Amino acid sequence: MDEMQTPLAAGALAAQPEDRFLPQQQIEKEPAKPSIVTQNFPPLTIAVMLTLTAIFLLEIEFPSAPETSPLSPAPFTLLTFGGLSRMAVLLGGQWFRLLSQPLLHASIAHLLSNLFGLYIAGRILEPMIGRGWLLGVLLISAWSGSIVSLFTMPENLIGIGASGAIMGLFGLMCVMAYRVPNGPGRVLLLRYAVGTLIPSLSFFQPSSTGMLIDYGAHAGGAVAGIAVGFGLLRAWKAETARPPLAKEMLVIGLAGSVSAFLASGYAFAHGNEALQASLCSDLIPQEMLKKSDAEVLAQVESFRQNYPHDPRTEWFHAILLDQQQHYDEARSSLQIALAEPKLKYCFTPAFRQRLDDLAAQINSHQMPLAGSGDRPAIPYNAPPKPGTQTNGFH
């Protein structure tokens, strides 16, 4: 194990020369003052980093839909592997997603940023509090972040990432700084912790990866880490080098890790089928769509009244309005269809593409020619046959 004491901490915590002149009894009563020791290769931290990387590679290797960009799994793939969705949890009853979502990442940039934060925190905290407490805090913070994210993120988004767990580590570090005597060592820990937490919890901080930042997960994880830190600080006696209940926390951490892996495995094997059964039962029956285009479009108002959460109702309505040259109303109907959460859970990505194609077609009718108020002579493409669309879930 490669250990290194930071120069600032070493200078702050080294025994003073005049200590040898103190009475022996007085020296023995002085509480143990921990030093800040870092590890370049903290075993548990490295193991967690490798695990997250392996799971990301599985996302790339076994996609449920084409990648949105290189090394960026599609939202449908993330859902398949156990991504967090409010509808899936609250309406579909898939609470196991609270356990599985911290294992997933949406892109290589997302993964690398979290691995970097994990390494920075782990190389300090693992030698300080031990592997058992480190693993326990990771899991507690990850799941706390998942719970807060569940009730704060938009309904049509999928939450994924280990950032809640990592914010928990920096929240813990902020409290553990007061385990270290006042001086450069404490300042160093606070600088790491606060310097990470403030931008990560800043709601106006733009994402460097182009993704939406899940501030709920960040806040939930940070609060959990701080809370555990205060409890640990209170229970950790000054004269002991290691915190109590280390073995018990390791057992709990390992059991929680196994549960998270099982949750992700179940999501991959059965989660989407169960989700479809619970969320996609109120769609337009397929038998009603096995008709001609004209017959299907004639039932648009009935579909909109009886199946308001089926995005195909507004799709059909947009097609009808487009044929009638009511382009603004057609665009509004398409926006409703694209915002429907069930579009993500109950339909293939191919259907989303058909909605996008129709949107582009509608917009083309209102694109003026350069220097002219006339519409361009773009041939009108016949709308895709509604009766051929299936509500596949794969």
| 9 or 182, which is more confident | 182
Torsion of CA 55, 70, 348, 79, to 10 degrees: 30
**CA–CA distance, 111 with 117 (Å, rounded to integer):** 10
- 267 CB-near residues (< 8 Å, 6+ apart): 80, 81, 82, 94, 96, 97, 100
The secondary structure of 114-152 as a DSSP string is HHHHHHHHHHHHHHHH-HHHHHHHHHHHHHHHHHHHHHH
Structural domains present in the chain: 3-10+17-279 (1.20.1540.10), 286-388 (no CATH)
Q: At residue 14, does pLDDT exceed 80?
A: no
Which structure tokens are listed for 111? 């993964």
Q: At residue 231, does pLDDT exceed 80?
A: yes
Closest of 211, 114, 219, 99 to residue 161, by C-alpha: 114
pLDDT in tens, 99-141: 999 999 999 999 999 999 999 999 999 999 999 999 999 999 9
Closest of 150, 67, 53, 141 to residue 105, by C-alpha: 53
Question: Tokens 């059909």 — which residue?
Answer: 316
Give alpha helix (H) positions in the chain.
7-13, 24-29, 43-61, 75-80, 86, 97-100, 108-129, 131-152, 163-176, 184-200, 215-235, 246-266, 272-279, 293-297, 300-306, 311-323, 327-339, 342-346, 349-364
pLDDT in tens, 309-339: 899 999 999 999 988 888 899 999 999 998 8
Question: Tokens 């009638």 — which residue?
Answer: 324
Q: What percent of the chain has pLDDT over 70?
A: 80
> How confident is the model at residue 35, as a pLDDT?
56
Torsion of CA 355, 359, 360, 363, to 10 degrees: 170
Instruction: State whether the Cα torsion 291-294-295-297 is positive or negative.
Output: positive
Instruction: State whether the Cα torsion 275-278-284-285 is positive or negative.
Output: positive
Cβ contact 105:52 at 8 Å: yes
Q: At residue 173, does pLDDT exceed 90?
A: yes
Task: Look at the pTM and tell me if it is higher than 0.75.
Answer: no
**CA–CA distance, 173 with 225 (Å, rounded to integer):** 8
Q: What is the DSSP letter of 283?
A: S
Q: At residue 29, does pLDDT exceed 70?
A: no
Helix, strand or coil, per DSSP, at residue 207: coil
